[in-house]
Amino acid sequence: MESNLSKNLQVIKETDSEIEFKKPVKKTALLCTNGFQNSDTHDSTQMMEYFQKNFASEYSNCEIVPVSLFAPGDPKTHHNRKFEKVLDSTIKEYIAKDYDIILMGYSFSCALACHMQHKYRKNIKRMILVAPVYDTILNNMIPNYIGYAWKFHKLNKKYGTRIAKTMGRQTTKGLVSLLLSIFISLLKNRKYFRLIDADTLIIWGTDDKLCTPHSITKVDKIIHSHHVLYKYPNMTHGILKTIKDNGIVFEDILHFAFATPFILEKTSQDIKKEKLSSVHTKYDADGEPIPTFDEIFTGIDPEGDKETKIDQEGL
């Protein structure tokens, strides 16, 4: 194990000398699956844009492809078999185009990604597992999902379309069915963690409440292929949000996938200042301010957590 000091953040990197970092000589696609997302913006969009801005010309044979397993606002897409069908067809598309494939799973979809690597082991050359969720009981996944869905239902009735606007969605339909499908997908596919045989990078934030210390220890232990584990202090389950918050994670992922150089020079203090100075109020078509996600779930309804707890006690 070695400890690397990078960009003022002490990242713990458990390394494997058998894993090499080489620039691809063949066309290579990094296919990125999403986790549970309630907005229509893919989890990997920020990382893709960072790659395109800084490396697209030099790495012209490489590309990042966000793969949306479902449309958050379309209940017809909220089924675990459809998640698998979408990813399977995307992989086949890039195999047909003679690409080497690097497959990245995020949160619950790490298990599905492992399933696909087992199925297409000749074509999927590397794996990246970001915040892999394994537990369902120890991390209180079931009651947390029920509580979230219940609270969302109440706020949706109270504030209507403002909920959708703050999430960047056109509709709020299908949240409960989506959560259930995600849960089933995880239970069905997590056995494949132990069956992958590609070099693997595991990404984990130490303050992650869904990918618990037990989860990350379990995943690290049952993966038998060569793999490395990178631990990021104070980062949460939203470890792919923005370049300002998670740029160091983006760079580590891209370096593992394509051997890109590390170019970020801003310190964490500079990033924090820039983030605070860039906050702007957004307005809807009627000129009314659109509340942030945090305002919806705390500021607008400060008693919501207490009410949700009381409501659940009555279930």
CATH code for position 78 = 3.40.50.1820
- Report the run of H or E that residue 34 belongs to, with start and end: none
Q: How do strand 62-67 and strand 100-106 relate by DSSP bridges?
A: unpaired
Q: What is the pTM of this model?
A: 0.77
Cα 59 to Cα 24: distance, rounded to the nearest angstrom: 9
The arithmetic mean of pLDDT across residues 24-49, rounded, is 92
pLDDT digits (tens, 9 = 90+) for 52-72: 999 999 999 999 999 999 988
Helix, strand, coil percentages, rounded to 5, for the chain: 45, 15, 40
Instruction: Report the sign of the C-alpha dihedral through residues 188, 213, 145, 246, in that order.
Output: negative
The predicted pLDDT at position 314 comes to: 36
The arithmetic mean of pLDDT across residues 74-101, rounded, is 96
Instruction: Report the sign of the C-alpha dihedral through residues 120, 26, 128, 195, in that order.
Output: positive
The predicted pLDDT at position 165 comes to: 54
The predicted pLDDT at position 294 comes to: 47
The predicted pLDDT at position 85 comes to: 98
Number of domains in the chain: 1
The arithmetic mean of pLDDT across residues 276-298, rounded, is 50
The predicted pLDDT at position 293 comes to: 45
287: pLDDT strictly greater than 60: no
Local confidence band at 83 (pLDDT 50, 70, 90 cut-offs): very high
Structural domain includes residue 154: no
The predicted pLDDT at position 178 comes to: 83
Structural domain includes residue 161: no
5: pLDDT strictly greater than 60: no
The predicted pLDDT at position 308 comes to: 38
Structural domain includes residue 242: yes
The predicted pLDDT at position 36 comes to: 86
Structural domain includes residue 120: yes
Local confidence band at 136 (pLDDT 50, 70, 90 cut-offs): confident
Structural domain includes residue 233: yes
Structural domain includes residue 32: yes
Local confidence band at 180 (pLDDT 50, 70, 90 cut-offs): confident
The predicted pLDDT at position 250 comes to: 97
309: pLDDT strictly greater than 80: no
Residue 292 near residue 284, CB atoms below 8 Å = no
Structural domain includes residue 304: no
Structural domain includes residue 293: no
Highest average pLDDT, of 86-100, 163-177, 280-294, comes from 86-100
pLDDT averaged over every residue in the chain? 81
Determine the structural domain holding residue 118 and report its residue range: 2-140+172-273
Cα 60 to Cα 123: distance, rounded to the nearest angstrom: 20
Long-range contact pairs involving 266-274 (C-beta distance under 8 Å, separation at least 24): 266/7, 267/7, 267/8, 268/7, 268/8, 268/9, 269/8, 271/244, 271/245, 271/247, 274/244
